[in-house]
Structure 1
Amino acid sequence: MKKLGSLLAILLIVSGCSEADRYNFKGSGDNWDVFYTVDATSQDSKEATGKIVYTGEEPPPETIIYSIESTAGASSGNVSVDEGEVLVGKSACEGCAVIQQDEQLDVEIKWDGQVEEFALTTEQ
């Protein structure tokens, strides 16, 4: 009987752990490609990561200031560019608004006196 109770408890715990909904956003400007992944772990919690890739013809800048905005909030930073790429660190929140799959994210990248703005979307 104890084994059955333990098995039921484990099954209950495992069934409560569902896979997160993953949304892959991407977009391109004249000089940059941005890839941004959102894992909606529940209705009010998420984890997000991303990558910004320089595609321009000039040598890549040493630093950029970026902002990725949605109706659920923003991710931004003043970061170094390493071999033409920037990794947008993992951000997470609980009890927050969550980015939805059909949402459009607005990107702004500033570098060396230049500014580029474009949108990120998911393929549906």
Structure 2
Amino acid sequence: MKKLASLLIGLLILGGCSESDRYNFKGSGDNWDVFYTVDVTSQDSKEATGKIVYTGKEPSPETIIYSIESTAGASSGNVLVDEGEVLVGKSACEGCAVIQRDEELDVEIKWDGQVEEFVLRNE
């Protein structure tokens, strides 16, 4: 019985250490919508994924160069646009600075000689 009680107490303590927060950032420009999800898994580790969607009136470009910047770092790439969308691959880090709930992320998208900049905010 003591072993069972010790096991349950241990699980409760470990369960309390595994708290994580999910932040859903989004923003729009004249030609693009960006959705960026950040899972803060501890005070110094995170995982992030996202999607960039073309909303312009002209046909979507074949490639873009994008940058999503925060105080904790940046995600960027020169990528192909597939049917008007780009999936921002999963990025992760441990022992790093993490994005905060109330932070604003700066986005820059370049394509076909054009540049659009806007801000992402947590919903």
TM-score (norm 2): 0.91
Alignment: residue pair count: 122
8 Å CA contact 2:18, 2:41 repeated in 1: no
Bigger shift: residues 101-110 or 7-16: 7-16
Partner of 1:53: 53
- Aligned-pair distance for 1:13? 2.9
1:101/1:2 CA distance change after superposition, 3 Å? closer
AA partner of residue 67 (structure 2): S
TM-score in terms of structure 1 length? 0.90
Q: Secondary structure at the match of 1:59?
A: coil
Over the matched positions of the two proteins, sequence identity in percent amounts to: 80
Q: Aligned pair in 2 of structure 1 residues 7, 102: CA closer, same or farther (>3 Å)?
A: closer
Sort the Cα spacing of 1:12 and 1:79 in 2 relative to 1 into closer, same or farther, 3 A. Answer: same
Structure 1: runs of 5 or more not aligned: none
Give yes or no for the alignment of 1:9 onto 2:1: no
SS at 2:26's partner residue?
A: strand
**Secondary structure of residue in 2 paired with 1:121:** strand
Residue 75 of structure 1 aligns with an amino acid whose one-letter code is S
Structure 1: how far apart are the matches of 2:56 and 2:105? Answer: 22
Deviations 1:17-61 (A, max 9, x none): 22x111111111110000111111111111111100000011111
Equivalent position of 1:79 in the other structure: 79
Contact 2:18–2:42 (8 Å) recurs in 1 = no
Alpha-carbon distance between aligned partners in 2 of 1:6 and 1:26, rounded to the nearest angstrom: 42
State the alpha-carbon separation in 2 of the partners of residues 12 and 103 from structure 1.
Answer: 30
Q: Quick one: distance in 2 between partners of 1:106 and 1:58?
A: 24
**CA deviations over 1:52-103 (Å, ceiling 9, x no partner):** 0000011111111000001111000011111100010111111111111111
- Displacement of 1:12 in angstroms is 3.2
2:91 is matched with which residue?
A: 91
* Corresponding residue of 1:37: 37
AA aligned opposite 1:41: T
